[in-house]
């Protein structure tokens, strides 16, 4: 009897606790109007998507503002952990979007000055808010490393703020865009040099020639092709190879892989280091025929030194094409 | 005493529920696919895609349901080591072996054999996949 009373007592206490908890959870806190920012503040984003490739810019947007009553902006600065290559700059114009969707610039400062790792803009107009774009051209020394950025701003009331972005990993890939190739002329492609040669200029660099571009109308499905010089002659009809040009690369055709950096089209697809690390081309053939615009080819060179992705920007029925190459050193 | 009866009854009910929950009313095969009454057993259509997932056929495939062959002519230069065959079968049929990725069909002298299994899983028809170049 005593035990059951004790038990029921315990249950009552438990119920009471539960009830209190339930009530407390329903209690509403009074809304408090947030304190407005009283001084200089800032924010930043990275606008560029996809891999960070040496030679290409990475775009950032850095916003800074302070209450009008406090004063005006004096300067904005970006410091990269590795100095940007030529072409790195901090925009000295602030942009707004017009009713028609166009970005309209408003001049707010003098053109940026680069000093070592830092890029600085001094404001020349009386403004208390601005968003500046920063274009960091990835330098060669950053390849395979990480880069961090410190954005900072100063104001006339003596305030200063800073914002960290990164670290960002820089890709090991190389890029070469819009290379014109043509049948029987600029037809010899070297992945190592990321260049195209004619039969005459290919002979001295024979050991570096990985592919031959050719165009044939018969059979009709042959059309534009990239073929290893060492491939079966049936895939090189009528081609007289320069002496010593005989490498055998592995090739795999791809369609619908319009890498944004290569295609420069609307597609948001990116080929990254990981793709090159993981692709297995061991059973791939040494030719790719029947290529068309917006198609691509994965390539592995005979010496397994490089893997590449060759994208066909455009093709022409007179036997020419424009290609772009992403290359990864293994 | 009463409490014990309740406990036993509850346990029995639970066991009963578990057992009935596992009972299968609908017959399914080892792949979890429905076994039906259908006896149709044929290849209706065939497609062959290259590594770029674009067709490598040069013509419409010839499907002979009597001789049980699928004849395909592929484009010049097709890399038959890396192709993706796609079979369209009669209703409720399934294919053996299953195609789960790229297939090597480069051995033209020894055509690959794919078996179609009917909806009732009682009829099996082996189709030869005969490929030739354009």
Query: Which residue of A218, A283, A287, A312 to mutate against B (max B Cβ within 10 Å)?
Result: A283
ipTM: 0.74
CA distance A190 to A200: 14
pTM: 0.81
Res A13: pLDDT? 72
Summarize pLDDT for A159-198 with one digit per residue, the tens. 999 999 989 999 999 999 999 999 999 999 999 999 999 9
Res A149: pLDDT? 96
- A172 to chain B, minimum CA–CA distance in Å? 26
Cα-Cα end-to-end distance for chain A = 82
CA distance A117 to A152: 13
Summarize pLDDT for B23-74 with one digit per residue, the tens. 557 889 899 999 999 999 999 999 999 999 999 999 999 999 999 999 999 9
Measure the CA angle with vertex A81, ends A79 and A84; round to 5°: 75
Q: Sort out which chain A residues have CB atoms less than 8 A from B81's CB and list them.
A: 283, 285
Chain A residues with a Cβ under 8 Å from any Cβ in chain B: 219, 221-222, 235, 252-256, 283-285, 287, 289-290, 295
Task: State what percent of residues in chain A have pLDDT above 70.
Answer: 94
B contact residues 34-53, partner A, Cβ 8 Å cutoff? 50-53
DSSP H or E run through A16: helix A2-26
Nearest residue to A273 (alpha-carbon basis) of A306, A248, A242, A295: A306
Tokens read off for B67: 């001789």
Res A37: pLDDT? 81
Query: Do A253 and B58 count as a contact with CB atoms less than 8 A apart?
Result: no
- B58 to chain A, minimum CA–CA distance in Å? 9
DSSP string, A282-325: TT--SEEEEE-TTEEEEEE-TTSSEEEEEEEEEEETTTEEEEEE
Res B8: pLDDT? 73
For A3-28, what is the mean pLDDT? 66
- B77 to chain A, minimum CA–CA distance in Å? 7
For A77-105, what is the mean pLDDT? 93
Residue B72 burial (10 A CB sphere; 0-12, 13-18, 19+): buried
């Amino acid at each position: 009897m005593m035990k059951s009373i004790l038990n029921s007592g315990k249950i009552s206490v438990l119920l009471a606790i539960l009830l209190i908890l339930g009530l407390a959870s329903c209690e509403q806190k009074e809304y408090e109007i947030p304190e407005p920012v009283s001084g200089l503040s800032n924010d930043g984003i990275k606008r560029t998507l996809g891999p960070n490739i040496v030679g290409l810019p990475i775009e950032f947007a850095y916003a800074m503002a302070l209450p009008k009553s406090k004063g005006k902006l004096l300067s904005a600065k970006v410091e990269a952990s590795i100095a940007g290559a030529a072409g790195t700059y901090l925009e000295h114009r602030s942009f707004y979007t017009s009713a028609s969707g166009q970005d309209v610039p408003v001049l707010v400062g003098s053109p940026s000055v680069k000093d070592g790792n830092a890029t600085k803009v001094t404001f020349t107009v009386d403004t208390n808010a601005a968003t500046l774009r920063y274009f960091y051209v990835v330098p060669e020394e950053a390849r395979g490393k990480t880069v961090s950025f410190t954005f900072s701003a100063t104001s006339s009331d003596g305030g200063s703020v800073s914002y960290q972005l990164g670290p960002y990993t820089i890709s090991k890939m190389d890029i070469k865009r819009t290379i014109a190739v043509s049948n029987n002329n600029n037809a010899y492609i070297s992945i190592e040099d990321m260049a195209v040669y004619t039969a005459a200029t290919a002979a001295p660099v024979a050991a570096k020639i990985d592919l031959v571009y050719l165009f044939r109308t018969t059979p009709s499905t042959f059309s534009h092709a990239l073929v290893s010089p060492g491939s079966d002659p049936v895939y090189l009809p009528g081609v007289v190879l320069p002496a010593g040009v005989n490498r055998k690369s592995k090739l795999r055709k791809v369609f619908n892989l319009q890498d944004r950096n290569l295609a420069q089209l609307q597609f948001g697809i990116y080929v990254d280091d990981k793709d090159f690390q993981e692709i297995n081309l061991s059973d791939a053939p040494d030719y790719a025929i029947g290529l068309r615009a917006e198609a691509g080819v994965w390539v592995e060179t005979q010496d397994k030194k490089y893997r590449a992705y060759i994208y066909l920007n455009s093709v022409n029925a007179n036997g020419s094409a424009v290609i772009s190459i992403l290359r990864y050193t293994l | 005493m009463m409490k014990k009866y309740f406990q036993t009854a509850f346990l029995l009910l639970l066991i009963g529920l578990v057992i009935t929950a596992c009972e299968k009313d609908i017959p399914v095969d080892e792949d979890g696919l429905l076994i039906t009454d259908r006896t149709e057993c044929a290849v209706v259509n065939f497609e062959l895609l290259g590594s770029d997932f674009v067709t490598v056929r040069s013509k419409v495939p010839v499907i002979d349901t009597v001789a049980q062959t699928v004849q395909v002519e592929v484009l010049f230069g097709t890399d038959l080591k890396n192709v993706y065959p796609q079979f369209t079968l009669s209703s409720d049929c399934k294919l053996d072996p299953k195609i789960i990725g790229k297939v090597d069909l480069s051995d033209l002298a020894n055509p690959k054999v794919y078996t179609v299994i009917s909806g009732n899983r009682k009829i099996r028809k082996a189709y030869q996949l005969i490929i030739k170049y354009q």
